[in-house]
Chains A and B, each alone.
Chain A
Amino acid sequence: MDVSIAGILLLDGVTNGAVYGLLALAIVLVFAVTRVIFIPQGEFVAFGALTLALLQLGKVPGTIWLLLALAALAALLDVVDALRRGLPSAQLARIPLRTLVAPVLVAALTWWAAPLKLHLLVQSALTLAIVTLLGPLVYRLAYQRLADATVLVLLIVSVGVHFALTGLGLVFFGAEGFRNPSFWEARFAAGPLAITGQTIFIFVASIALIVALWLFFGRTLRGKALRATAVNRLGARLMGISTAGAGRLSFGLAAFIGALSGLLIGPTTTIFYDSGFLIGLKGFVAAIFGGLASYPAAALGALMVGILESFSSFYASAFKEVIVFTLIIPVLLWRSFQHGHDDEEE
């Protein structure tokens, strides 16, 4: 081990850490607003990377069929709910429309654009649109009715959603992996370090997203409403904030962050339909650093996870995952000494 090796490992660790950090932010956000421990976060990463890969091949990605199916189901549920509440038929017609418009538009656009093999950035934008729309629909179908259930029930649902999405991923994308083209092919030499354009892209995108989220939560009404829901659901509801709307919004953000992470790491590694799970899990370990509540601590944790992973792959590659996931034990110990057991009260 010399300085140049340490430098390369550090750079690699921080790059991966940046992606884990984004996922950790999404996991913290979803948990704070809805109390859902969102295990399927990683699936959005795989969906993002693989949807783009299929668009690159000029094929229509299977995710749009999932999007349409989920939207149709959600619309159906909305109508049933409206009928139960006895809404007048004029309003009734508008309800499914609201749920269906965006998914149908995006699906139609993708179906039309897929064989044209448009520019990489256009395809990326389409990919982001498809996967982001999946988020609120997943919340609507799997979680919304259970919004007041215990954290444990929500966790069990998460496991179910994870398995369902992984299985669907196998159907849509097949068992073989894909690697996406780089957004920026440039290479820069800084001493022994070779910094690729994609690495810079990852850093810039991560920082831009964190700033955007900070502005969103600090400056916009919707962002403040999300924060209010996170602090006190009942209180927020009394102030006229829709908790279901907040849930959908947070899942939409989580799906967007997941898809973006997928686009970012897609060119640096081979992504399989089931790759997302481990990546998401590392984001989860990072989120644990912040006790699933603090964004800065989660981001810091993500960098630690990335760097630890990178160095342990050098020193003891066979035990890399063991080392990374064992990290959770001292962190949990430390947190429980610091905070006692107040988390048990729901």
Chain B
Amino acid sequence: MKTIRLLALAAAAGVGATFAPQALADLTIGVSIALTGPTSALGIPTKNGIALWPKEIAGEKLNVIVLDDATDPTTAVKNTRKFINEDKVDLIVGSVATPVAAAMADVAAEGKTVQLMLSPVNLPEGKGAWSFRMPQSAAVMAIPIVEHWKKNGVKTYGFLGYADAYGEAWLKDIAPLAEKAGIKQVAVERFARTDTAVTGQALKLMSANPDAILVVASGSGAAMPHKGLVERGYPKAKIYQTHGAATMDLIRVGGADVEGSFVSSGPAVVAEKLPETNASKKLGVQYKTEFEKAYGKGSANQFGAHAFDVVIVLQKAVPIALKKGKPGTPEFRAALKEAFETMGRTPVSQGVLNWTATDHFGFLPETGVLLKVAGGDWQVVPN
């Protein structure tokens, strides 16, 4: 019992340390991300990216508060309320998990504070007026995959995805694109990140005999279903993965079984391999150099890139908003939202954004890049 009490004390001390003193005039950003729990693999690299944020933006001193939401919507909502009511933040960033970020959207709208989501959340009509997404939607990232299918004569595809919001979003968004290209969906199977096998799903998919299989998963969780399919004899070159899987962890865990497979990705992960004409090349290379200088070679992934992109959109929007109000005031917060919606085409390291009053996803169709795993590294597939 004594040790338990000690642990509780230590935890309380840790929480207390996050309440940093702050001056009102600074640009205050409240970040709620998952540093523990099932999506900590996404939250931890994001936190590393945030640690590299500059000291000031547009001459305003940056004051960043990072809280852990443990992948729990209730905790995230509590964090968001604290940001709005106690810290009077100018901007909320987070969370990295789809259901968690969705729960925060209502509170952000109620507090009339802009939320930059680090997850591609699909919200119902009329919700999320104050929420903008940093990652690309499944609809945008499906474009290079469907294009590649069209070019290679794929007529049918199978779907093997997470039984969660990420899997659901892909299932919903790729269907109309594929249908338009005359490609039929012949099987839909689900699994969970912590499952120990996908034998049943793989057998079912293969009995439908699709020309290609789309695996929807994230990070090193994407390797198990991939290996499961290969083990059952499905050809590697017909397996496609999504941008959630575009990290070196897929190659590290997947090994030889992911060789020759395709992954749809944002540009940042492979910035140096992109053609000069790509709008994200310069920013992507800058992100990768900075991130890998701090955290070692091969550490840069899309989650750190989203944190990097937050600074880029702020550098463009804050000067516009400053004309209408001082940070810490409701006028500034409203002006920031307006600036995001009207600032127009903005290249970031992960693609090209164009947020409008009606489109808070905003990534343009040119964003996605199709990658092929070759020799334990990424190779850009020319379109």
Contact = CB atoms under 8 A, between A and B. Distances in A.
Given A9-B203, A317-B189, A318-B190, A16 B253 contact: no
A171 to B, nearest CB: 9
A260 to B, nearest CB: 16
Interface stretch (A91-99, A270-278, A333-341): A270-278
B224 interface: yes
B163 interface: yes
A13 B300 CA distance: 38
B40 A175 contact: yes
Contacts of A170: 36, 40
A8 B199 contact: yes
A330 B4 CA distance: 37
B196 interface: yes
B199 A177 contact: no
Query: Which of B44, B220, B255 has the most chain A CB within a 10 Å cutoff?
Result: B220
A179 interface: yes
A321 B193 CA distance: 12
A127 to B, nearest CB: 19
Interface stretch (A58-66, A105-113, A244-252, A305-313): A305-313
B197 A313 contact: yes
Contacts of B43: 175
Given A141-B3, A179-B253, A317-B204, A16 B197 contact: yes
A310 B199 CA distance: 7
Interface string B1-17: 10110010000000000
A317 B201 contact: yes
B225 to A, nearest CB: 9
A204 interface: no
Interface residues of B, number: 37
Interface in B220-272: 220-221, 223-224, 227, 231, 249, 253, 255
A141 B44 CA distance: 31
B38 interface: yes
Contacts of B4: 160
A12 B199 CA distance: 7
B69 to A, nearest CB: 14
Interface in B177-210: 189-201, 203-204, 207
B200 A12 contact: yes
B322 interface: no
B374 interface: no
Given A170-B40, A274-B38, A317-B191, A268 B253 contact: no
B249 A9 contact: no
A314 B203 contact: yes
Given A141-B3, A175-B44, A16 B204 contact: no
A5 interface: yes
B197 A269 contact: yes
Nearest to A178: B253
A313 B41 contact: no
A176 interface: yes
A73 interface: yes
Given A177-B220, A274-B38, A318-B190, A265 B196 contact: yes
A228 interface: no
A164 interface: yes
B351 interface: no
A253 interface: no
A9 B4 CA distance: 44
B207 A5 contact: yes
B201 A272 contact: no
23 contacts: A5-B207, A9-B199, A12-B197, A16-B197, A175-B43, A175-B219, A176-B220, A176-B253, A177-B219, A177-B253, A179-B224, A179-B227, A194-B231, A268-B197, A272-B221, A274-B194, A310-B197, A310-B199, A311-B200, A313-B200, A317-B189, A320-B192, A320-B195
Given A167-B36, A179-B224, A321-B192, 17 more contacts: A164-B7, A176-B220, A178-B220, A179-B253, A179-B255, A268-B197, A269-B195, A270-B224, A277-B194, A311-B200, A313-B201, A314-B201, A314-B203, A317-B163, A317-B189, A317-B191, A320-B200
Interface of B: 1, 3-4, 7, 36, 38, 40-41, 43-44, 163, 189-201, 203-204, 207, 219-221, 223-224, 227, 231, 249, 253, 255
Interface of A: 5, 8-9, 12, 16, 73, 141-142, 145-146, 160, 164, 167, 170, 174-179, 194, 265, 268-270, 272, 274-275, 277-279, 310-315, 317-318, 320-321
